[in-house]
Amino acid sequence: MDRRLTLEKRIEAEIKSYDGIMGIYLDDLHGTTIEIKAEETFETASAIKTLILACLFEEVEKGTVSLEDMIEYKKEHSVDGSGVLLALEPGARLRVKDAATFMIIVSDNIATNMLIDYLGLATINRCIKGLGCMDTVLHNPIHFDQYDRLGTSTPRDYASIFIRLTKGELISPKADQMMLEILKKQHYNSMITKDFPPYFMDSDNTEDILFTVASKSGSMDGCRNDGGIVFTPYGPYVIVMFHKEFSDAMYYPAHPATLFGARVSRMILDQYLALEGRFYPALKG
């Protein structure tokens, strides 16, 4: 038996009874990847905000924009949903860096629309392709009353961003580190971490937090997604889980997409820790 099939078969068995389709891309950053429906197209929901962040930092690197620029919250940016800027009135001004931080850490939809307006939809999509994500598109700003989608991507494309970020090879080492620090503050990574041992993520119980996560999730009626980098004492690994075609559109902590995603995530964590930084034993000789 191919030794590499064992973990894949366990994952496939776990999601066999799942009422939906899950696309998975995993990379232990030691030469082993696991791919299940990794090239299928999924709605991104707010996961596309990771790509917007990357494009912002690329334009900063080029010198065409600045993180210190001030941008205004305009009436046309207003939209319901996640974030904090909805509590403010149009006319508020933010630094670009602050808008980007809100866009990621609390998935702020208004901040996202401000940045799409600031960078330009065409520029963002050109940048996405330039980053090698050929199957990823930001279709429009966030306006639920006008559009029934936001972005589309594949687990493979999404994972490629985090793989290159981990290596400091996405934009530049400095820019990549700044992006990672923002992504580590992201509040909504419950699919990845829901079944992780709380002890190892709580600095109140340990001298050091042993696991940290840099990630960005996304949810709409037709999708639940999560993806990012899990940092452990044995090193980091990349995990992406995209979901579609499930029957329950409601949002609640015990949604099947979250539960099945969390089980897969814990399975991967256990394997990675047991093998001290790998998904499969290293070949000898």
- pLDDT tens-digit readout, 197-240: 887 776 565 556 688 999 999 998 889 999 999 999 999 999 99
Q: What is the pLDDT of residues 63-95, one digit of tens each?
A: 999 999 999 999 999 998 877 998 999 999 999
Average pLDDT over all residues of the chain: 92
Alpha carbons 87 and 204: distance in angstroms, whole number: 32
Q: Are residues 119 and 166 in the same domain?
A: no
pTM: 0.94
Identify the band that residue 147 occupies on the pLDDT scale cut at 50, 70 and 90: confident
As for how many domains the chain has, the answer is: 2
CB contact at 8 A, 19 and 269: no
Residue range 33-48: mean pLDDT, rounded: 96
Q: Say if CB 280 and CB 3 are below 8 A apart.
A: yes
Predicted local confidence at residue 1, as pLDDT = 41
Residues 162 and 85 placed together within one structural domain of the fold: no
Of 153, 174, 198, at which residue does a domain stop?
153
Which of the pair, 2 or 152, is modelled with greater confidence?
152
User: If you count DSSP H runs as helices and E runs as strands, how many of each does the chain have, helices first?
Assistant: 9, 11
Strand extents, DSSP E, 178-282: 212-215, 218-220, 223-232, 235-244
In the predicted model, is pLDDT for residue 44 greater than 80? yes
pLDDT value of position 234: 94
Domain check: are 54 and 160 in the same one?
A: no
User: Is the pLDDT score of 251 beyond 90?
Assistant: no
| Rounded average pLDDT over 92-118 | 97
Q: Which pLDDT tens digit goes with each residue over 156-170? A: 999 999 999 999 999
Tell me, yes or no, whether 235 and 97 share the same domain: no
Q: Which domain does 78 fall in, by range?
A: 45-153
Domain match, 148 and 251 both: no
Give me the pLDDT at residue 252, please: 87
* In a shared domain, residues 161 and 205: yes
Are the CB atoms for 220 and 262 separated by under 8 Å? Answer: no
Residues 13 and 67 placed together within one structural domain of the fold: no
Residue at which a domain ends, from 123, 153, 183: 153
Long-range contacts (CB closer than 8 Å, 24 or more residues apart) made by 59-67: 59/119, 59/123, 59/127, 60/175, 61/171, 61/172, 61/175, 65/96, 65/118, 65/119, 66/96, 67/95, 67/96, 67/97, 67/100
268: left (phi over 0), alpha (psi -120 to 50) or beta: alpha
Verify that 115 and 142 share a domain, yes or no.
yes
Give the pair of three-digit tokens for residue 43: 């709605």
Same domain, yes or no: 283 and 163: yes
pLDDT for res 115: 98
196 and 257 both lie in a single domain: yes
What is the percent of the chain where pLDDT is above 70?
94
Asked whether residue 4 carries a pLDDT value surpassing 70, the answer given is no
Does residue 13 surpass a pLDDT of 80? yes
Identify whether residues 91 and 108 lie together within a single domain: yes
pLDDT band at 61 (very low <50, low <70, confident <90, very high): very high
* The predicted structure's pLDDT at residue 106: 95
CATH number for the domain that contains residue 75: 3.40.710.10
Domain boundary among 104, 130, 153: 153
Task: Note whether 251 and 125 are same-domain residues.
Answer: no
